[in-house]
Amino acid sequence: MAQATDSPHPPPLATRPRSQPYLVIFFLIFLPAVVVTTLYDVFDIFVTWVWNDELWYLDELASMLLLCALPFMTYMTYHLFQLNRALRLDEEAMRRLATAVSQTAEMVLITDPSGHVLYVNPSFEHVTGYPRHEVLGTNVLHLASDGHHQNWRHKIVQALATGTPFRQRFPAPRRDGQILHTDITWSAVRDEKGKITSHVVVGRDMTRELEWGNHLKKSQKLEAIGTLAGGIAHDFNNILTAILSYTELTMDDLEVPSLAHDNLNEVMIAANRAKELVKQLLTFSRRSEQKRFPIPLSIPLKETISLLQAILPDKIILEASFSTTENWVAADAARIQQMVMNLCTNAAESMEKTGGTLRVALQEVMVDQEMIHNNAPLTKLHPGPHMRLSIQDQGIGIPPANRDRLFEPFFTTKSVGKGSGLGLSVVHGIIQTHEGAITVESTEGLGSTFQVFLPTVQKMADQPIESTQRS
């Protein structure tokens, strides 16, 4: 961002002093009248004392000229009052326009004919993070970073040269480095001769709408995949039941040990693995049967952490923190343990080469409408108290291209034989069954943070909770 010049900029229209129409009327009407009257008196004295009234008719002529000037003075007064009224109406309209521009939610930017910024409204400062004094005097071509400069340079150069209006969506950096996706409308302002006097740029931040749209598409995609996977898994489970049953009956009729018995035992092992895979698919599609009871979330979490401390390698340090105040959540303890184990295992695998710290934190948070609005993955949550489980690692991070596919079944970036690609899919299914939500933040080379939000309940521990999700 180029720095602005030190030249002072005019104040907004709404703060400029109003004109003084009454002073205008005084100087244009009453002051000339006083001058004419004074000149008449001087002329009268001159005629009286110099010519001793010998040229009395000059005095009368001056009186007649003064009387003839009165209608003209009245006409001028009337039109000056009309002009004053029009000026007042114009000033009122300008004040309303200036107030509207300064208070609109859209970003407004005005430049001179060469593209140097003359004015930005408060919305521009709020959305982009750039204060006005850093922007004024800067050329609009320099408002974007070099990485995004070429995407819109041609359009702006053409608009500055010819005044051609255009609408387009541009990625632009905020002051903190985040990327804004803005819809830009560029228009040229011309005078009565058609010469360009300035350019007006109106921008709307579409980042939030794009995030919500992408999240909706991803949710619909996962819903469709879940429906398909659930149907296939259900039918496949019925086939596996027959395979397991007849294999077991056949094994009962065979001698032990025997080659046929050993072969069928391998079939049983493989079929049980397939059955476990089907169970995970049903969990992802939320078709597995389960009952939820109000429990403190810290109980299954602490049990899982104890197990993790025993199996994690020495170069990975596990840190856990729990909130001093905790409300209960309606949960299936076994599913919660499975969810935590899957998330922590993924986090540990991302640090298997470099090591690092794996942080697990549980705390109560108040989810409000603003938080839901600012985080598309939280759209299905209801405002109110929630328990938030955070799992943070210092691993390799997740590439942006893979983040939208994290929870798809069978999607994995691991090498062959190191994973089925169902770990995070199962996590997603468990969270959806518990009427919660999950968010992901990741930076390549620095690590990732998964946050799980589960709504709290106020019920006795022996009361099962009916899920509103599909089961």
Taking 70 as the threshold, does the pLDDT of residue 159 lie above it? yes
**Which residue would you say has higher pLDDT here, 66 or 291?**
291
pLDDT the model gives residue 11? 44
- 170: which strand partners? 182
Q: In the predicted model, is pLDDT for residue 9 greater than 50?
A: no
Position 449 scores a pLDDT of: 93
Q: Is 448 within 8 Å of 415 (Cβ atoms)?
A: no
**Whether the predicted pLDDT of 78 surpasses 70:** no
Q: Looking at residue 388, what is its pLDDT?
A: 92
Q: Does position 166 have pLDDT exceeding 70, yes or no?
A: yes
Determine what percent of the chain falls in helix, strand and coil, rounding each to the nearest 5: 50, 20, 30
Q: Within 13 Å, how many C-alpha atoms sit on residue 360's CB side?
A: 23
Residue 19 has pLDDT above 70, yes or no: no
Q: What is the pLDDT of residue 17?
A: 45
Task: Please state the rounded mean pLDDT for residues 255-269.
Answer: 83
| Average pLDDT of the chain, as a whole number | 76
**Which of the two residues, 150 and 354, has the higher pLDDT score?**
354
Residues in the chain, overall count: 471
- At 22 the pLDDT is 55
Type of residue found at 308: L
Confidence of residue 234 (pLDDT cuts 50, 70, 90): low
Given a cut of 70, whether residue 133 has pLDDT beyond it is yes
What's the confidence (pLDDT) of residue 409?
A: 72
From CA 332, how far away is CA 99, in angstroms rounded? 56
pLDDT for 266 equals: 84
Whether the per-residue pLDDT at 74 is higher than 70: the answer is no
Distance CA 387, CA 391 (A): 13
Mean pLDDT in residue range 17-25: 51
Identify which of 298, 282, 342 has the alpha carbon closest to the alpha carbon of residue 470: 282
Residues 6 or more apart whose CB falls under 8 angstroms from that of 220 comprise none
- Spatial contact of 100 and 121, defined as CB atoms under 8 Å apart: no
Residue 55 CB coordination number (10 Å): 13
Checking if the pLDDT of 132 tops 50, the result is yes
**Residue pair 278/295 in contact by the 8 Å Cβ criterion:** no
Measure Cα distances from 58 to 66, 256, 299 in Å.
12, 151, 116
Assign 52 to helix, strand or coil.
coil
State yes or no: pLDDT of 217 exceeds 90: no
pLDDT single digits (tens) 178-190: 778 888 888 888 8
Residue 242 pLDDT exceeds 80: yes
Q: What is the pLDDT of residues 353-410, one digit of tens each?
A: 888 999 999 999 999 888 888 887 888 888 999 999 999 999 888 888 788 778 777 6
Q: What is the DSSP letter of 26?
A: I
CA distances from 316 to 340, 428, 466 (A): 17, 25, 39
Distance CA 406, CA 359 (A): 21
Encoded amino acid at 229, one letter:
A
pTM over 0.85? The answer is no
Angle 360-397-450 (CA atoms, 0-180°, nearest 5)? 35
pLDDT tens figures, 417-457: 565 667 787 788 888 888 899 999 988 888 999 999 999 98
Q: What percent of the chain has pLDDT above 70? A: 69
